[in-house]
A and B are shown apart, each in its own frame.
Chain A
Amino acid sequence: DTAVSQTPKYLVTQMGNDKSIKCEQNLGHDTMYWYKQDSKKFLKIMFSYNNKELIINETVPNRFSPKSPDKAHLNLHINSLELGDSAVYFCASSQGIPQETQYFGPGTRLLVL
């Protein structure tokens, strides 16, 4: 069973479109995260939710909107996609505050043309 899963795995789209990436974890964790990995492999946190409440919101454009319908899901919606949004987006989860190990999904590779 996949612990943290993301869909889709690949996403190719045009500038200006709106797209969503979904994340689900079956580990029973109460905290979930979105990270962005750029072309140079630099990894940076974007958002974190604990029990469906937003607890970390880094300086991310408001075109990015996370949604957590329940503890097991954290989706990322991106409006008006730009070329600079091209990256690999990773979802992760962990248990507790303070949290222990973060478990990462396989990533969603987004390419904006």
Chain B
Amino acid sequence: GDSVTQMEGPVTLSEEAFLTINCTYTATGYPSLFWYVQYPGEGLQLLLKATKADDKGSNKGFEATYRKETTSFHLEKGSVQVSDSAVYFCALRFQGAQKLVFGQGTRLTINP
């Protein structure tokens, strides 16, 4: 079945470090891909998305590129801040479908 796999957390970095959180998916067809972020005590918020191969989603300094050949959608940020500490979820959804399929989440902690 369709699934999303993220790198195991937790991830701990120092402020201004480079961030990569890996995400790969298994799906029949070409889904839309999403990154959601969950700050402590809050619900999920859409961070960025890409709907077709080679699209790059970006927001708040984060980027992810839809790579069909490697079925990946890795999240990157060049210089993280303490305020980026949160749980990050990769997700997919097929066109015309209602359901989002989430990865297991990656907890990120940024130390000053």
Contacts and interface: CB of A to CB of B under 8 A. Distances in A.
Our verdict on whether A and B bind, yes or no, reads yes
A44 B98 contact: no
Interface string B22-44: 00000000000000100001111
Contact of A104 (B41, B45, B105): B45
A48 B99 contact: yes
Contacts of A4: 43
Chain A facing B: main interface SS: strand
A97 B96 CA distance: 6
Query: How big is the A interface, by class?
Result: 20 to 34
A43 B99 contact: no
A106 to B, nearest CB: 5
A43 B45 contact: no
A56 interface: yes
**Interface-centre pick from B45, B49, B100, B107 (highest chain A CB count, 10 A):** B100
A59 interface: no
Chain B facing A: main interface SS: loop
A31 interface: yes
A92 B45 CA distance: 10
A56 B89 CA distance: 21
Contacts of B87: 41
A86 to B, nearest CB: 17
Nearest to A48: B98
A23 B46 CA distance: 19
Interface of A: 4, 31, 33, 40-45, 48, 50, 55-56, 90, 92, 97-99, 101-107
17 contacts: A33-B98, A41-B87, A41-B104, A43-B89, A44-B102, A45-B99, A45-B100, A90-B43, A90-B44, A97-B98, A98-B95, A99-B98, A102-B46, A104-B44, A104-B45, A105-B43, A106-B43
Which 10 A/B pairs are nearest by Cβ-Cβ distance? A104-B43, A41-B105, A104-B44, A43-B102, A98-B96, A106-B43, A101-B46, A48-B98, A42-B104, A105-B43
